[in-house]
């Protein structure tokens, strides 16, 4: 009888400890990604860099001619 009571007490404490967790079902806070920060700048940066490259290539071609 004492053994059964002790087992039930340990089981009850273990069940409480295992079910007592602090996980939340709320969505985690979204962290800013480096790629997500750069993507809005692509439509501006890409044509500017392209224009600079065309200018440099044309300048090299004129100097060599």
How far apart, in whole angstroms, are the C-alpha atoms of residue 44 and residue 41?
Answer: 6
What is the pLDDT tens value at each position of the chain, 65 positions in all? 555 555 555 555 555 556 656 666 766 777 888 889 999 999 999 999 999 999 999 999 999 98
Domain ranges of the chain: 39-65
Confidence (pLDDT) at 58: 98
Give me the sign of the Cα torsion angle 52, 58, 61, 65.
Answer: negative
Confidence (pLDDT) at 24: 66
pTM of the model: 0.48
């Amino acid at each position: 009888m004492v053994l059964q009571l002790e087992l039930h007490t340990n089981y009850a404490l273990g069940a409480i400890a295992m079910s007592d967790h602090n996980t939340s079902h709320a969505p985690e806070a979204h962290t800013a990604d480096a790629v997500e920060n750069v993507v809005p700048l692509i439509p501006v940066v890409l044509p500017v860099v392209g224009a600079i490259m065309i200018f440099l290539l044309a300048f090299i071609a004129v100097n060599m001619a």
